[in-house]
Every structure is written in structure tokens, then in C-alpha cells.
């Protein structure tokens, strides 16, 4: 009867080395798969945020009206639409609105408030923030919403019907025909929104 032969020490060490190599390869593949999945999800989330921003801009500007408002001190606003001039975005941060106007079309399901909403878009640091208030005259109470948190190289332009302008030169009761917003996004590079306003206002 032949004697059973076991593993030698060298064979056992080789087997352990092969097993360790396979295990580390499996962990690396799993880690790469998870990293790729996370990167894809981040890209999907970025696309969704950009789409929400575009939808909100179109909803706001598409309902712009010629309704002027009064400030907290009771003084009337200088125009129905105000727009910052193109230039250094850092100079705008936290100081004044990029653009401000009153919009209509805000649902009012039997509530004691107007269907109008005064809206401002501001740059706070590198974040684009939307401020809104439903009391148009003399109110200092704003609802705030951060729309995008990494906006760089911001550029604004306004169309007056004959061409694009870096500032809004319209009169007290005039709306631009369109607004163009450009900025650099960390995932997609330069992004542009071209947004129409009502031809006649309301």
C-alpha cells in the first residue's frame, strides 16, 4: 500500500501567495468598480442639478413682469428689471443681485397672497443663490435657495432686441428680450444658458 503524500512547505507557500494575489486583485477590481460607480453617480447628480437650475431660470424669467417693487425703506426700485454688468464675478459676490425682477404665475391656492413673486439671483462666494419674497413692497423677509455651489468665471449678457449687451441699458419699465448666463463648471467646463423673457411683459 502506497503512503499518502502531503503538501510540502514550499507548495503551501506558493499556494498562499497565489491566493493572496487573487484576493488582492479581486479587492482592486471591486474598489475600481465602486469608484467608477461613484464617479458615474456624481456625474448624474451634476447633470440633474444643472437641469434643475435651467428649469428654474426658465420658469422665473419666462414669467417676468413689469411690476416694480418698493424697498424696505419705502423707496421704489430703480427699474422693473435690474442686471449686473459683466465683469469680475468676485466683485459681485455678496454685494448686489446679479439680476432681479418680479415674476407672475406663482400658484395661489386660495391663499391670502399675491400670485407675484419678487426674485433675485445672487452670487455668494462661488454659489449661485436664489432669493424670493411674496410680499413685494417693503419686505425684508426672503426665502433662500442654493442652486449651484461651484460657479466660476461667471459672465452675464442681456439682449435688447438688436444685440447682446454686457449691462442692461433698458429703461425703468423695460425687460430684456433674453438673458445669457455663462460660467465654468468643474465637471462640464463652460456652460451656457440662453433664456427668453416675455416679449411684452405683463
**pLDDT tens sequence across 168-198:** 876 778 899 999 999 999 888 999 999 999 9
In which element (H, E) is residue 161 found?
none
- For 127: left if phi > 0, alpha if psi spans -120 to 50, otherwise beta; the answer is beta
Determine the average pLDDT of the residues in 115-131.
90
Q: Does residue 60 register a pLDDT over 90?
A: yes
Could you give the CA distance from residue 138 to residue 154 in angstroms, rounded to a whole number?
Answer: 30
User: CA of 55: how far to CAs of 14, 26, 201, in Å?
Assistant: 61, 43, 19
Q: pTM here? A: 0.75
Greatest mean pLDDT among 9-18, 103-112, 113-122:
113-122
Give the range among 17-21, 43-47, 81-85, 101-105 with minimum mean pLDDT: 17-21
pLDDT of residue 2: 52
- Going by C-alpha positions, the residue among 120, 127, 133, 124 that lies closest to residue 95 is 124
**Model confidence band, residue 54 (pLDDT cutoffs 50, 70, 90):** very high
CA distance 7 to 5: 7
Identify the pLDDT of residue 21: 79
Structurally, what CATH architecture does the domain formed by 58-196 represent? Answer: Roll (3.10)
Q: Does the pLDDT of residue 30 top 90, yes or no?
A: no
Could you tell me the residue ranges of all domains in the chain?
A: 58-196
Convert the pLDDT of each residue in 61-85 to its tens digit.
999 999 887 766 666 666 789 887 7
| Distance, CA of 89 to chain centre | 15
pLDDT tier, 119 (very low <50, low <70, confident <90, very high otherwise): very high
pLDDT at 55: 94
3-state helix vs strand vs coil in the chain, percent to 5: 30, 30, 40
pLDDT at position 138 is 65
- The single-letter DSSP state of residue 110 is S
Amino acid at each position: 500500500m502506497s503512503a499518502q503524500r502531503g503538501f510540502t512547505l514550499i507548495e503551501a507557500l506558493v499556494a498562499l501567495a497565489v491566493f493572496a494575489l487573487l484576493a488582492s486583485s479581486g479587492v482592486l477590481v471591486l474598489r475600481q468598480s465602486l469608484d467608477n460607480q461613484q464617479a458615474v453617480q456624481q456625474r448624474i447628480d451634476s447633470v440633474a442639478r444643472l437641469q434643475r437650475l435651467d428649469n428654474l431660470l426658465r420658469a422665473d424669467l419666462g414669467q417676468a413682469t413689469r411690476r416694480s417693487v418698493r424697498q424696505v425703506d419705502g423707496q421704489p426700485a430703480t427699474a422693473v428689471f435690474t442686471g449686473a454688468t459683466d465683469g469680475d464675478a468676485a466683485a459681485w459676490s455678496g454685494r448686489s443681485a446679479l439680476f432681479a425682477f418680479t415674476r407672475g404665475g406663482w400658484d395661489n391656492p386660495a391663499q391670502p397672497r399675491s400670485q407675484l413673486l419678487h426674485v433675485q439671483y445672487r452670487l455668494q462666494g462661488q454659489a449661485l443663490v436664489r432669493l424670493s419674497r411674496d410680499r413685494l413692497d417693503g419686505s425684508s423677509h426672503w426665502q433662500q435657495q442654493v442652486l449651484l455651489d461651484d460657479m466660476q468665471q461667471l459672465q452675464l449678457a442681456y439682449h435688447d432686441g438688436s444685440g447682446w449687451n454686457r449691462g442692461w441699458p433698458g429703461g425703468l419699465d423695460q425687460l430684456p428680450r433674453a438673458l445669457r448666463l455663462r460660467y465654468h463648471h468643474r465637471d462640464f467646463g463652460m456652460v451656457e444658458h440662453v433664456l427668453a423673457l416675455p416679449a411684452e411683459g405683463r
